[in-house]
Amino acid sequence: MPQPRHHHAVAVLGGFLYVAGGRERTSPTDHPLKTAYRYDPRTDSWIKIADMLHGRESFQLGILKEMIYAIGGRVDDKTSLADVERYDPFKDEWEEVAPLTDPRRCVAVTTHNELLYAMGGSGKSICQHMENTNTLQVPRIFGLLSPIGDHMYLAGGATVGNNGALCCAPHIEKYHPKSDTWITLSKMVTPRAEAGCTVLEKQIYYLGGYNWDTKSWVQTVEAYDTTTDSWEELGNFPKAFTGMACCTLTLHKLP
């Protein structure tokens, strides 16, 4: 990638991988990035696309009707964003669209049945609601949201414990949009927030992250099987890391 970053967001559209935002270094004086890039797996090459209108980190990208939406995020530790902007890949332009009802950073986002969903996150406090839908079972930041079939699965992240400090949210929750209901399912093997997450067929993969219970970075990869409500630890990265973003990208052979 031309410009290193963490706590950024990724999306896949039209066979391309899009990367936007985040922060380049760990110093709190650095501003979140506006820059964005597109990766072409057919040629193994990157190009720079138009900058976002707002620098942001700890946000998510969503896809809706061939457009990419950058939702929420934060400018610094004190300032969360309600701003939503939309990228048109044909015009290479970002534009402002309707904002969130409240500023949110560390929000979980996905698309399901031609609707964008924003769940959890934090503004002045950790949110327990979604935009125009029922509340979560457990309020959380850095939740990981995945659509499979008729449901969406929310896992990982951090919540506030009985002592008022952040702790891991260990359970996965399943949301059914038609009935607007939640079901709490099994626990992760290693609870984590700020992790990477991607879907392949009926399994959801969780990579790295940060464990708020042990105050340590996570080195493992684990998979959740939506057909059996079971978890499997798959192995370790060479080193632990956090603030990554993941996706599933289909590779096609060149003609």
- pLDDT tens across 156-182, in order? 999 988 888 899 999 999 999 999 999
Domain-located, residue 27: yes
Looking at the fold, whether 192 and 235 belong to one and the same domain comes out as yes
Of 52, 82, 104, the residue that ends a domain is 104
Which residues in 114-139 are b (16+ Cβ under 10 Å) and which e? eebbbbbbbbeebbebbbeeeebbbb
Domain-located, residue 255: no
Looking at the fold, whether 3 and 47 belong to one and the same domain comes out as yes
Of 104, 127, 154, the residue that ends a domain is 104
Looking at the fold, whether 15 and 74 belong to one and the same domain comes out as yes
CATH of the domain at 222: 2.120.10.80
Looking at the fold, whether 140 and 191 belong to one and the same domain comes out as yes
Q: Contact 117/133 with Cβ under 8 angstroms? A: yes
Q: Per-residue pLDDT for 125 more than 80?
A: no
Domain-located, residue 254: no
Q: Give me the chain's average pLDDT, please.
A: 91
Domain-located, residue 253: no
What range does the domain containing 39 cover?
Answer: 1-104
- pLDDT tens across 9-65, in order? 999 999 999 999 999 876 565 789 999 999 999 999 999 999 999 999 999 999 999
Domain-located, residue 221: yes
Domain-located, residue 125: yes
What pLDDT was estimated at residue 138? 86
Measured between alpha carbons, how far is 39 from 50 in angstroms, rounded to an integer?
A: 14
- Which amino acid is residue 101, in one-letter code? T
Domain-located, residue 226: yes
Looking at the fold, whether 153 and 242 belong to one and the same domain comes out as yes
What pLDDT was estimated at residue 128? 47
Q: Residues 217-240: what's their mean pLDDT?
A: 96
Which structure tokens are listed for 57?
Answer: 């980190």
Decide: residue 57, CB within 10 A, 0-12 exposed, 13-18 middle, 19+ buried: buried
What pLDDT was estimated at residue 134? 53
Looking at per-residue pLDDT, the higher value among 67 and 253 belongs to 67
Looking at the fold, whether 76 and 196 belong to one and the same domain comes out as no
Of 104, 138, 170, the residue that ends a domain is 104
What pLDDT was estimated at residue 133? 46
What pLDDT was estimated at residue 137? 84
What pLDDT was estimated at residue 82? 95
Looking at the fold, whether 238 and 214 belong to one and the same domain comes out as yes
Q: Which residues pair with 194 in a beta bridge?
A: none
Q: Residues 60-80: what's their mean pLDDT?
A: 93
Looking at the fold, whether 151 and 122 belong to one and the same domain comes out as yes
Domain-located, residue 153: yes
What pLDDT was estimated at residue 254? 57
Looking at per-residue pLDDT, the higher value among 185 and 252 belongs to 185
- pLDDT tens across 174-209, in order? 999 999 999 999 999 999 999 999 999 999 999 999
Looking at the fold, whether 40 and 163 belong to one and the same domain comes out as no
Q: Per-residue pLDDT for 135 more than 80?
A: no
Percent helix, strand, coil in the chain (nearest 5)?
0, 45, 55
- Which amino acid is residue 245, in one-letter code? A
Count of the separate structural domains present in the chain:
2
